[in-house]
Structure 1
Amino acid sequence: MWRRLIVPRTFHLGELHQVIQSAFGWWDYHLHEFQIGGLSFSDPDLVQSEFEGDPRVYDEREVQLLDFSRGEDINFVYVYDFGDDWHHLVEFEQLLVMEPAPRVARCVDGARARPPEDVGGPGKCSAPR
């Protein structure tokens, strides 16, 4: 299953999280994080108390997509629902120059239905239709 999204480069990782949730039809019931270069980025308001102050967890609102260098091969992992443990590879395929620049994100392509919330993770999910 995959989705191709056009996302404004001014969006921060927290906004990208909302875009991914919408693209897969999920309800944002669970915790999430972005794993980038050995660091974790998450919503600091939702970090569980045992992880508060962890120097490896950063505020996802402080990283914008435009912070990623154009020349780099950019990909990272988005984890949703720590119980079901969904890992999604986020790849930047192309930097588009669009005039006017988009203000909202759009899903422009994709394949296969999303797994339902709380299905139990990849091992419990039958192949989506």
Structure 2
Amino acid sequence: MSHVLVVDDSVSVRRLITSTLRMAGYQTIEAGDGQAALTAVRSAMPAAVITDQNMPNLDGIGFIRAFRQMPGSAGVPVIFLSTENADTLKQKAREAGAIGWMTKPFDDQKLLGVIRKVLGR
């Protein structure tokens, strides 16, 4: 079964997203920043990615740009997660290759709804 990559420097946010997804039957892989996420996708391309913006080493937009350069990433939906709701940041995320946006804090059911929509199940 394919998995969802959860990228966030906050352990508590990663655990929250991961537990929500796992209770709904999804497998997950976690990464603490964009650099660790790039390492993770080199060994296994995820079915979808949920990424934070503000992280050490490599931020969310930098990660998405690098991820989109990788073979096999073209059809993988990327959901951008941020505490910020600025239109300029949303535009940058879209330009980098994100297809969805969620603002923190988020509702578990909304998160599952977005994942089901982008994965078609």
Q: Calculate the TM-score normalised by the size of structure 1.
A: 0.25
Question: Greater helix share, 1 or 2?
Answer: 2
Question: Greater strand share, 1 or 2?
Answer: 1
| Higher relative contact order, chain-length normalized (CA < 8 Å, sep 6+) | 1
Q: Calculate the TM-score normalised by the size of structure 2.
A: 0.26
Whose radius of gyration is greater, 1 or 2? Answer: 1
